[in-house]
Structure 1
């Protein structure tokens, strides 16, 4: 902080001893030490606050960039989903138009045919009445 050598400190101590006097010098040194300690704590607090603010600003910038990236990703996914939905709709419309219309009534097997009869749950195939 200051470029003060040992010889300069010795000169300051001798001048303080002459000016303040030997009775009040210990009390003055103690007060000066307390003030110096307060000043150091204040400077350290200011440094910590500045450091915290810089970290917060960096985190805010990072958050903004992540939100921008998320919005871009969301819009690209939405665009792809919409395009896929349009293609699917177009494909189903062309398939529906190309398929022959189903007949009104499906052919039913004759009463004595060789087709298999399926059992339904809780109901025997023989118990069913043909419609």
Structure 2
């Protein structure tokens, strides 16, 4: 994703060790890991929600067949009300 190699990570770790010192480095690493984990959870949650919404949208809209328009003009009132209830 960021295209960071081992040598770059090693340099960042050495700089962090010098700046924070050996006493505070483990606590800072845990704190950074916590925020990275939270950010990933938010991103993956949004991706899953969009995928579910996309699947629901494609399942709720049947492919238009002969004599039916894509807007659902050929659907009965009962079919339209069922779609409206599912979308809520």
Same fold by TM (over 0.5)? Answer: yes
TM-score scaled by length of structure 2 = 0.69
Structure of higher RCO (CA pairs closer than 8 Å, 6+ residues apart): 2
* Structure 2 runs not aligned, ≥5 long: 77-88
Residue 20 of structure 1: CA displacement?
A: 1.2
Question: Aligned residues, how many?
Answer: 70
**Over residues 8-48 of structure 1, what are the superposed CA-to-partner deviations in whole Å (9 max), with x where a residue is unaligned?**
00000001111111110000000111111111111110000
Moved over 6 A (4+): none
Residue 22 of structure 2 aligns to a residue whose secondary structure is coil
Aligned twin of 2:26: 26
Root-mean-square deviation (Å):
2.4
* Structure 1 runs not aligned, ≥5 long: 75-131
TM-score scaled by length of structure 1 = 0.48
Instruction: Write the distance in 1 (CA, Å) between the matches of 2:6 and 2:42.
Output: 26
Higher Rg: 1
**Structure with greater helix percent:** 2
Which residues in structure 2 correspond to 1:104-123 (within 5 Å)? none
